[in-house]
């Protein structure tokens, strides 16, 4: 896959540029919205939710944004990845190129926006009175693993969406359910220890918990969490690669 990606590097870069330009086409501020939008959203969330949930949670602003930023990245990445093949059907029908390029291009475009969101996130971490220490370097692990995980989910969803268009509507419900199960707004510590452990069944919560442990508690998570995150990312990327390998020739018939 990496060898083919190098052969189609020019096309891949053009796809990323096109997706990024399309996102802000027709706006006055253009790419500045990549920073302004999360800044405004974070300010609104900090103002509203801290009154309802934040009084009993230390550093609630950081607690809230840790969940929101990661979930928003996951949601945008997988939804865009799901529709990548359908949106590029005309190119796929005319040119013989690896179809996974379109999913990767969508993921890179969303990943760039996510990195810009992280810059704003760190600004709010400082405003919340937390210190940025050397342990923040360990956040590179969940960031890279989440990128791999999202690409894998994008592969799976885009393959299924090619055959089942209803998946687009159903996945919106799934994302809403995942957000409720990720303890983004509420404090997971209000539950009994046995119930707290069940949160880790949700792969996204593992990433959120990792971020909160390092940023808020100043603690590097245990090895079992690193292993669980790695397994989740590896499993879903392998599943996505399998679906693309098996149904690659059938995609054209359903575009």
Task: Give a yes or no: residue 21 inside a domain.
Answer: no
Task: Give a yes or no: residue 16 inside a domain.
Answer: no
Task: Give a yes or no: residue 164 inside a domain.
Answer: yes
Task: Give a yes or no: residue 1 inside a domain.
Answer: no
Task: Give a yes or no: residue 139 inside a domain.
Answer: yes
In the block, tokens 């342990």 appear at 135
Task: Give a yes or no: residue 14 inside a domain.
Answer: no
What is the C-alpha separation between 63 and 6, in angstroms, rounded? Answer: 39
Residue range(s) defining the domain that contains residue 140: 33-254
Task: Give a yes or no: residue 247 inside a domain.
Answer: yes
* Domain count across the chain: 1
Quick: pLDDT tens for 11-41: 666 677 776 667 666 655 556 666 666 667 7
Look at residue 83 and give its three-state secondary structure: coil
Task: Give a yes or no: residue 203 inside a domain.
Answer: yes
What share of the chain has pLDDT > 70, as a percent? 77
Asked whether 220 and 213 are in contact (CB, 8 A), the reply is: yes
Q: Mean pLDDT for the chain? A: 83
Residue 24's φ and ψ, nearest 5 degrees, are: -115, 15
Quick: pLDDT tens for 175-228: 999 999 998 888 888 888 888 889 999 999 999 999 999 999 999 999 999 999
What is the C-alpha separation between 195 and 36, in angstroms, rounded? Answer: 38
Q: Given a cut of 80, is residue 156 above it in pLDDT?
A: yes
What is the C-alpha separation between 240 and 94, in angstroms, rounded? Answer: 24
Quick: pLDDT tens for 37-66: 666 777 776 676 666 665 667 788 888 889
pLDDT (0 to 100) of residue 58: 79
pLDDT (0 to 100) of residue 41: 73
């Amino acid at each position: 896959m990496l060898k083919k990606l190098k052969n189609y590097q020019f096309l891949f870069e053009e796809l990323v540029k096109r997706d990024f330009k399309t996102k802000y086409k027709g706006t006055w501020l253009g790419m500045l919205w990549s920073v302004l939008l999360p800044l405004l959203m974070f300010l609104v969330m900090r103002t509203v939710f801290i009154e309802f949930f934040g009084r009993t949670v230390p550093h609630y602003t950081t607690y809230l944004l840790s969940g929101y930023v990661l979930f928003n990245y996951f949601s945008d990445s997988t939804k865009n990845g799901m529709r990548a093949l359908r949106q590029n059907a005309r190119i796929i029908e005319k040119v013989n190129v690896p179809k996974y390029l379109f999913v990767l291009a969508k993921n890179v475009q969303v990943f760039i926006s996510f990195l810009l969101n992280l810059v704003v996130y760190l600004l709010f971490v400082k405003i919340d009175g937390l210190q940025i220490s050397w342990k923040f370097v360990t956040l590179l692990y969940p960031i890279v693993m989440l990128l791999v995980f999202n690409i894998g989910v994008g592969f799976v969803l885009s393959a299924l969406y090619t055959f089942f268009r209803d998946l687009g509507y159903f996945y919106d419900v799934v994302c809403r359910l995942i957000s409720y199960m990720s303890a983004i707004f509420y404090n997971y510590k209000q539950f009994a220890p046995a119930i707290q452990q069940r949160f880790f069944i949700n792969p996204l919560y593992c990433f959120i918990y990792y971020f909160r442990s390092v940023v808020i508690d100043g603690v590097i998570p245990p090895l079992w969490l690193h292993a669980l995150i790695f397994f989740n990312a590896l499993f879903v990327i392998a599943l996505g690669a399998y679906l693309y390998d098996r149904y690659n020739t059938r995609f054209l018939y359903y575009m």
